[in-house]
A = this chain, B = another copy of it.
């Protein structure tokens, strides 16, 4: 089955909003809330998943619950833009959750978690030990001032509050 890559319309957005609020809701309940038939809701949800509108389930697993309450963002400068090999080395560190290649003064933004301060120090050391890494700066996350949310964008697409 080939992805249709249809843009998300307001019905889709309302389905996703409903799912965001009630992740355990059944298809029939979702359909009823949105005001479409169960068949259509089923088809749309299947299409959304086919089109890759839903990320991996890993996204829903809380690192904190796994025993990694500390989060940090480490910016990294890489020698001569050897990004790929640096990324491989970073990927070998389990505590590295995500790595972005970014524009600007730094080359990489590394999202890491750690069990405690000492653990974080060790991980930062591992990153600095990567040969292609020139410089790095660790910014510890003190608190999450705005929790991750995508509902404001969804509401915009849902066409109402």
Which residues in A have some Cβ–Cβ distance to B below 8 Å?
7-8, 13, 16, 19-20, 23-24, 48-49, 51-63, 65-68, 71, 73, 83-84, 86-87, 90-91, 94-104, 106, 108-109, 111, 113, 137-157
Contacts and interface: CB of A to CB of B under 8 A. Distances in A.
B142 A7 contact: no
Given A94-B153, A145-B108, A60 B57 contact: yes
Contacts of A49: 24
A52 B62 contact: yes
Given A146-B96, A146-B98, A54 B58 contact: no
A89 to B, nearest CB: 10
Contacts of A16: 61
Q: How many chain copies?
A: 2
Given A91-B146, A101-B142, A139-B103, A60 B56 contact: yes
Contacts of A57: 19-20, 23, 60
B8 A143 contact: no
Contact of A23 (B52, B56, B143, B156): B56
Given A67-B8, A83-B145, A90-B146, A61 B100 contact: no
A102 B59 contact: no
